[in-house]
């Protein structure tokens, strides 16, 4: 029984860490869209994969659709994080 409880606590710590990271990204998008853009460019580095997944290996550039709405995206992410945090606490 203790193993299950410890596993659940580790899982919850991961959930909270993920929500914290998402909140940081959302806050960054609201406060500084230019830094959000820099983070986006660092995170979109191309990694060459095998030819087996050639159809899935195409680059899809969504920055032109997302970056103009960085503040809206940030608010949406923070609202989602707040809602999920509220669900987990309550």
Domain ranges of the chain: 1-36+65-90
Q: Are 30 and 79 in contact (CB under 8 A)?
A: no
- Give pLDDT < 70 ranges for the chain: 1-6, 47-49, 51-52, 57
Interhelix angle 33-43/2-31, rounded to 10 degrees, is 120
Q: What is the pTM of this model?
A: 0.55
Give the alpha-carbon dihedral of 81, 45, 13, 89, to 10 degrees: 10
Residue 3, pLDDT score: 58
Residue 78, pLDDT score: 94
Which are the contacts of 19, defined by CB distance < 8 A and separation ≥ 6? Answer: 81, 84, 85
């Amino acid at each position: 029984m203790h193993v299950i409880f410890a596993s659940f606590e580790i899982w919850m710590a991961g959930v909270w860490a993920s929500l914290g990271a998402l909140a940081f990204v959302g806050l960054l998008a609201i406060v500084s869209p230019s830094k959000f853009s820099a983070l986006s460019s660092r995170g979109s580095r191309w990694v060459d994969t095998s030819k087996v997944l050639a159809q899935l290996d195409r680059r899809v550039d969504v920055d032109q659709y997302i970056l103009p709405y960085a503040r809206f995206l940030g608010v949406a992410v923070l609202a989602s994080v707040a809602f999920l945090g509220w669900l987990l606490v309550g």
